Chains A and B, each alone.
Chain A
Amino acid sequence: MKSDFWYRFLRNKMAVAGSVVVIFLFVISMLAPWIAPHDPSTINLKKVLSAPSGMHIFGTDQLGRDIFSRMIWGSRISLKVGFVATGLSILIGAILGALAGYYGRWVDAIIMRFVDIMLCFPSFFLILAVIAILEPSIWNIMIVIGLTSWMGITRLVRADFISLKERDFVQAAKVVGVSDFRIIFSHILPNAMASVLVAATLGVAGAILTESALSFLGIGVQPPTPSWGNILTAGKDNIDIAWWLSLYPGLAILITVLGYNLLGEGIRDSLDPRLRD
């Protein structure tokens, strides 16, 4: 089963391309202090808004800071937000989905109603409203994105639980007298992890997009901390003179998100080739 997965995964060009992008970004963000050619926060007023050159390959911003170095450091923010926010949404989604699917009846009714209610809110509205109240900061953003993106995972996990709880191994565990808690978390949940893994990979992509949009609007990661989104804000302010501020960070977001999406789809196709459309 496992070797089947890797066989299919490694033959799937899109999945491999996605993994390459994701691993590359990991390496970049880990090595940021060593590979960034300049200090990301050194202000140089003699070089304000200078176009890309050999010295500054992606140009400089309105304070003369090196864009390339800021983008390398910005990759850390994207990674952090992507993983923490998605981790939180999986935690909430898996627990609620497991409870709803396992216990059914009123537990299910209440939890799924709650999911329906949350889905009524345009998630960007909800995020903005909470940020308005809690002060924008990287931690608040991660938490808020996590708190507003667990609904899909809840539905997935619930569906898995509903079919898994009827299976023989669960019935056997019940007969032997294993507690509900252990049945849910050590017997059924591991079997539902496959779909969660796919949703999580796609979720990281979504969280990175949301963070960049928030930072772009000035309610995300706050300057001087570099993030791809807030470099683009400077791009908008200098739209008629400095195209490089707008082009490169957006390209980085695009490639990152594309990488995670390809990886997620690749994992799904390799787990179960029948799911391919």
Chain B
Amino acid sequence: MIPLLIGITIICFTVIHLAPGSPTDLQTNLNPKVSLEAKERLQSIYNLDKPLYQQYFMWIKKLAVLDFGNSFSSDQRPVLDKIVERLPITIAINVLSMILIMVVAIPIGVLSAVRQDSFFDKATSVFVFVGFAVPTFWLALLLMIFFGVRLDWLPISGIRSLNYEYLPPLSALWDLIKHLIMPVILSAFGGLAGLSRYMRANMLEVIRQDYITTARAKGLSERVVIYKHALRNALLPVITILGLSIPGLIGGSVIFETIYAIPGMGQLFYMSVMSRDYPLVMGVLFIGAVLTLLGNLIADVSYAVVDPRIRVS
């Protein structure tokens, strides 16, 4: 955990220092009146005149107290504030889509394993293959054209309507839900295909185990065998898969938040990349990696909680 964290900081630091020229060029290049001394002064304000390893340690010291520095953008606010105010919406959408993934993919996977080679099984495997291959941003466009423009059922950008503040609480909630439907479905889409395929493979493997044969042999009904004995064991590895899917979800938030103009961390990252706001880029990159690390940690711990075999070893 700690070595990983250190590794993450080193990579973030290296990435930023790949930049040709100096970050201060952005502030000085457009201004022909800037003298060489002024440039050097600016360099020393940001400690850019020190050797790299010293810069790294200074950066780490600040990082330890979650100080990512100030944004280069015109508001010059602390990077941490900018991220924190946008984090909840991104996490909320990702959690919602994770729930959606589980609620939809697990029954699909189980059903297609139980009815192997049935029409349902074949249909889902087609869905899975297409799901793996479809570019989510394209799907987003199609959904926008269909539900947003043609049918005009769902709003296509933002998370609130303009008149949000004047709405009574219930319609305000409904307004929010309407804005979130498409983004949540989209961010879930890739995971849906993956998890249902995985769930099917798992279930097929479990069904072949001896203890399932035993359960059948002692005369339990097929229902009990499948849903009590098999399902519970097939569900275990799903935790790991959900943990592993976190980086994909967080990374994907750049795409759908940009398309749907959702003010979350992904959109912030996109904007910071476009405006070359290095402190902000580094901050989001770091937070994204730490979130992934935390997600994996939670997955490992909960795996140990539900599976006694892991606890023993």
Contact = CB atoms under 8 A, between A and B. Distances in A.
B99 interface: no
Interface string B245-264: 00110111011001100000
Interface in B111-165: 129-130, 132-139, 141-142, 144-145, 148-149, 156
A129 B247 contact: no
A254 B141 contact: no
A114 B272 CA distance: 27
Interface stretch (B1-9, B41-49, B63-71, B75-83): B1-9
Interface centre among B3, B270, B289 (most CB of A within 10 A): B289
A103 B200 CA distance: 37
Contacts of B282: 129
B19 interface: yes
Interface string B15-37: 11011000000000000000000
Interface string A199-229: 0000001000100110011110000000000
B273 interface: yes
Interface in B218-256: 247-248, 250-252, 254-255
Contacts, number: 147
A217 B15 contact: no
B91 interface: no
A258 B7 CA distance: 35
A122 B248 contact: yes
Nearest to A219: B273
B284 A250 contact: no
B138 A232 contact: yes
Contacts of A253: 135, 138
B142 A247 contact: yes
A233 B107 CA distance: 36
Interface stretch (A51-59, A90-98, A168-176, A234-242): A234-242
Given A117-B4, A125-B250, A250 B269 contact: no
B130 A239 contact: no
Interface of B: 3-4, 7-8, 11, 15-16, 18-19, 129-130, 132-139, 141-142, 144-145, 148-149, 156, 200-201, 204, 247-248, 250-252, 254-255, 258-259, 269-270, 272-274, 276, 278, 281-282, 284-285, 288-289, 292-293, 296
Nearest to B7: A117
Contact of A120 (B248, B272, B293): B293
A205 to B, nearest CB: 7
A31 to B, nearest CB: 24
Interface centre among A119, A120, A121, A262 (most CB of B within 10 A): A120
B252 A254 contact: no
Contact of B292 (A114, A120, A232, A247): A120
Interface in A246-277: 246-247, 249-250, 253-255, 257-258, 261-262, 277
